[in-house]
């Protein structure tokens, strides 16, 4: 029975449902597991992203180092090639100057003989000028260049012969090769000479395998009287001839 003048309160009765409670627990667990899984996946993604960035940075750094090293190696090779060419050019210059100096010394001896009173064994002043031997790219192949000249100015033309001999070692024994044996451009041991002032002989020669050249002997003879020879010059085999171009 209600009391007059008092406020009435209504109570709503909610029936107890165990299934609803279980569903809420399951949803809570599912949400928790989902959030943990998402957090884990985000963590894995972030870690891989950082690792990938670090690897990319490391690869870029390695590529830069490799590029710098390659450039430095190219520069060193270029410098080495320039140095090698400079040394080769300097060596060739020294050998050329040495050949010219030797020729000048031979000419000086001939001039002294011409100025000496009395009978002269070489009245026309025949002399061996500059002799050059240069290697070719193929092993054992060389280019030769030799000048024979007349230093006396009042006499006529000279007619004679030149014998060009290469002395060396082969299989431990001394061997002499005439120019016609090593050059197809020469057909006889005695090379004809005929000139008023000078004559230049030039061609290619091929040394046999295993032959080590040591000296070059040049003998000039008069066509009228071959004995004794007018000039005999023995030259060291140029070191530059042993170096291929």
Q: What is the pLDDT of residues 10-38, one digit of tens each?
A: 555 556 566 666 667 777 777 777 777 77
pLDDT at 244 over 60: no
State mean pLDDT over 216-235: 85
Residue-range definition of the domain harbouring residue 129:
20-245
- The full DSSP string for 94-105 is HHHHHHHHHHHH
Contacts of 146 (CB under 8 A, 6+ apart): 128, 129, 130, 131, 132, 162, 164, 200, 201, 202, 218
In a domain, 12, yes or no: no
Q: pLDDT band at residue 182, thresholds of 50, 70 and 90?
A: very high
More confident residue, 171 or 82: 171
1 within a domain of the structure (yes/no): no
User: Which secondary-structure segment (H or E) carries 111?
Assistant: helix 18-115
* In a domain? residue 11: no
Q: Is residue 2 part of a domain?
A: no
Q: Is the pLDDT of residue 185 over 70?
A: yes
153 has a pLDDT exceeding 60: yes
Q: Is residue 4 part of a domain?
A: no
Which comes out higher in pLDDT, residue 16 or 52?
A: 52
pTM: 0.57
Give the SS3 label for residue 203.
strand
In sequence order, the 6+-apart residues with CB closer than 8 A to the CB of 140 are 206, 207, 208, 209, 211
Q: What are phi and psi of 231, to 5 degrees?
A: -140, 135
Per the domain annotation, does 5 fall within a domain?
no
Quick check: is 10 in a domain? no
Domain count, the chain: 1
Between residues 90 and 3, the one the model is more confident about:
90
Of 45-54, 94-103, 212-221, the one with minimum mean pLDDT is 94-103
225 pLDDT tier (thresholds 50, 70, 90): confident
Q: Is residue 28 part of a domain?
A: yes
- The per-residue pLDDT for range 124-145, each reduced to its tens digit, is 888 888 888 888 888 889 999 9
Taking the C-alpha atoms of residue 240 and residue 143, their distance in angstroms, rounded to an integer, is 12
Q: Which CATH number do you get for residue 74?
A: 2.60.40.150
Report phi then psi at 238, rounded to 5: -60, 135
């Amino acid at each position: 029975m209600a009391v007059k003048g008092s406020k009435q309160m209504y109570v709503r009765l909610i029936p107890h449902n165990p299934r609803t409670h279980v569903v809420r627990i399951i949803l809570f667990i599912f949400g928790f597991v989902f959030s943990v899984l998402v957090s884990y996946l985000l963590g894995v993604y972030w870690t891989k992203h950082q690792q990938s960035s670090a690897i990319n940075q490391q690869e870029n750094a390695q590529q830069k180092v490799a590029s710098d090293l390659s450039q430095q190696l190219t520069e060193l090779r270029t410098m080495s090639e320039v140095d090698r060419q400079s040394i080769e050019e300097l060596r060739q210059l020294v050998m050329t100057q040495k050949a010219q100096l030797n020729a000048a010394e031979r000419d000086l001896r001939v001039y002294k003989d011409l100025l000496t009173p009395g009978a002269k064994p070489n009245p026309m002043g025949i002399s061996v000028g500059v002799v050059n031997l240069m290697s070719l790219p193929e092993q054992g192949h060389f280019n030769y260049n030799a000048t024979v000249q007349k230093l006396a100015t009042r006499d006529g033309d000279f007619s004679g012969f030149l014998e060009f001999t290469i002395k060396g070692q082969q299989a431990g024994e001394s061997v002499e090769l005439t120019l016609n044996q090593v050059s197809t451009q020469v057909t006889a041991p005695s090379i004809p000479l005929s000139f008023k002032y000078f004559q230049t002989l030039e061609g290619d020669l091929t040394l046999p395998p295993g032959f080590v050249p040591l000296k070059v002997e040049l003998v000039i003879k008069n066509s009228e009287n071959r004995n004794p020879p007018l000039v005999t010059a023995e030259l060291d085999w140029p070191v530059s001839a042993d170096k291929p171009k």
